[in-house]
Amino acid sequence: MSRVLATYNIKGGVGKTSAAVNLAYLAARGGAKTLLWDLDPQGASTYLFRVRPKVRGGVRKLVHRKSAVEKLIKGTDHERLDLLPADFSYRHMDLALDAAKHSNDRLALVLEPLRAEYEYIFLDCPPSISLVSENVFEAADTLLVPIIPATLSSRTFEQLEELVRGGPQVLAFFSMVEVRKSLHREVMAKLRAAHVTMLGAAIPSADEVERMGVDRTVVAEIAPGGRAALAYEALWWDVRRRLGAPAGAAPGAPPGAPPAAPPGAPPAHPPAG
């Protein structure tokens, strides 16, 4: 049975897609069959994997389970990593969900036939509070929440915890961190002290993350061993640890795959507290 992880934040432009794409890549590289569902009508992760943003039958057929979801999946350039692409019709997903019975757990139902096949299913969610996010909270076991360490981020985090109370596990991590900014360092220290669900790993604001859109691939291929690549590895290790997965390499790790252990000291990880 798969683990469903959703990268989610009410706000946009905080590194959700980047996290979903890079973490899903690392999960697959570690040996796990992994699916990423690009729920965002803008189709950023679909674009990064060079797949056409097209779902035959559109969102209506999909959420009403009139399309065989297995047939809509596309293999990516990476072994064991598949994509359920975005489609422009996803912008009407709220309406489609609203028109369906059990409108809160439609997405969970769509995923049902895939849960035996994939060890991890990542949901890359559009920023909003809507029926789509309600569905995501229903379908996901864990929400991965990227947070930019700025003044209002603590408030964002608390709002979110309030929103999903009793729902999925929430794991937040810092994103687009600029360690040279003292404000970032202060906010991070404060939030880490206040929230146990705040992960230790943090993703730096780095060129290679921005280059993803140009090179259309994951940071591990753009700058292997670079700051961002190492930070995502540390984050994935941290997430797995919180999920209760063994911290070593997953069974089935291909030869040469690095163990899922955290690299020495993630560069964007200032001392907490």
Partner 1 sequence: MNTTRTELLLPRRMTTTAVLDALSSRLSLDEGTGTQRDRRYYDTFDGLLRAAGVAFVHESGRLALVSIDDGVERAGLPAPEPPERVFAAELEPGPLRDALLPIIEVRALLPLMHIHSAQRGFGVLDADAKTVVRLALDAPEVVASPNRRLALAPRIRIEAVRGYGKALTRVRKTLIDDLGLTAADRSVLDEAVIATGATPGGVSSKVDIALARDQRSDVAVASVLRPLAAIMESNLPGTIADIDSEFLHDYRVAVRRSRAVMRELKGVFPAEQLAHFRVELRWLQQVTGPSRDLDVYVLDFDELRSGLPEPSRSDLEPLLRVLRDRRTIAHREMVRALRSDRAGGLRSQWPAFLNELVTMAPEGRPAAARPIGELAGERITKVYRRMVKTGRAIDDSSPPEALHELRKQGKELRYLLELFGLPLHPGEVVKPFVRALKSLQDTLGAHQDREVQIATLRSLRDEVSTLRGGAGALMAMGVLIEHLGGDERAARAEFAQRFASFASRSQRALVRETFSS
CB 16 within 8 A of CB 213: no
Regarding 246 and contact with partner 1 (CB under 8 A), the answer is no
Q: Candidates 118-126, 133-141, 178-186, 247-255: pick the segment binding partner 1 (CB under 8 A).
A: 247-255
**Of residues 47 and 232, the one with the C-beta less far from partner 1:** 47
**Of residues 51 and 239, the one with the C-beta less far from partner 1:** 51
Handedness of CA 223, 226, 230, 231 (dihedral sign): negative
Rounded least distance, CB 104 to partner 1, Å: 29
**Of residues 11 and 74, the one with the C-beta less far from partner 1:** 74
Q: According to CB under 8 A, which residues from 130 to 159 bind partner 1?
A: none
Region label for 49, one of left (φ > 0), alpha (ψ between -120 and 50) or beta (otherwise): alpha
Regarding 50 and contact with partner 1 (CB under 8 A), the answer is yes
CB 91 within 8 A of CB 39: no
Region label for 257, one of left (φ > 0), alpha (ψ between -120 and 50) or beta (otherwise): beta
Per-residue contact flags (x/-) with partner 1 for residues 10 to 49, judged by CB under 8 A: ---------------------------------------x
Helix (H) or strand (E) holding 221: helix 219-222
Regarding 233 and contact with partner 1 (CB under 8 A), the answer is no
Q: Candidates 122-130, 154-162, 248-256, 262-270: pick the segment binding partner 1 (CB under 8 A).
A: 248-256
Rounded least distance, CB 71 to partner 1, Å: 8
**Of residues 49 and 90, the one with the C-beta less far from partner 1:** 49
> Which of residues 152, 252, 259, 265 is near partner 1 by CB under 8 A?
252
Helix (H) or strand (E) holding 169: strand 169-177
**Of residues 85 and 204, the one with the C-beta less far from partner 1:** 85
Amino acid at 204: P
Taking the C-alpha atoms of residue 45 and residue 122, their distance in angstroms, rounded to an integer, is 11
Regarding 216 and contact with partner 1 (CB under 8 A), the answer is yes
At 240, list the tokens: 């797995």
Angstrom distances, CA of residue 32 to CA of 26, 54, 174: 9, 26, 25
**Of residues 68 and 183, the one with the C-beta less far from partner 1:** 68
Taking the C-alpha atoms of residue 166 and residue 164, their distance in angstroms, rounded to an integer, is 6
Taking the C-alpha atoms of residue 49 and residue 77, their distance in angstroms, rounded to an integer, is 7
Taking the C-alpha atoms of residue 257 and residue 273, their distance in angstroms, rounded to an integer, is 33
Per-residue contact flags (x/-) with partner 1 for residues 61 to 100, judged by CB under 8 A: ----------xxxxx-x----x------------------
In the complex, the residues that contact partner 1 under the rule CB under 8 A are 49-52, 71-75, 77, 82, 216, 251-255
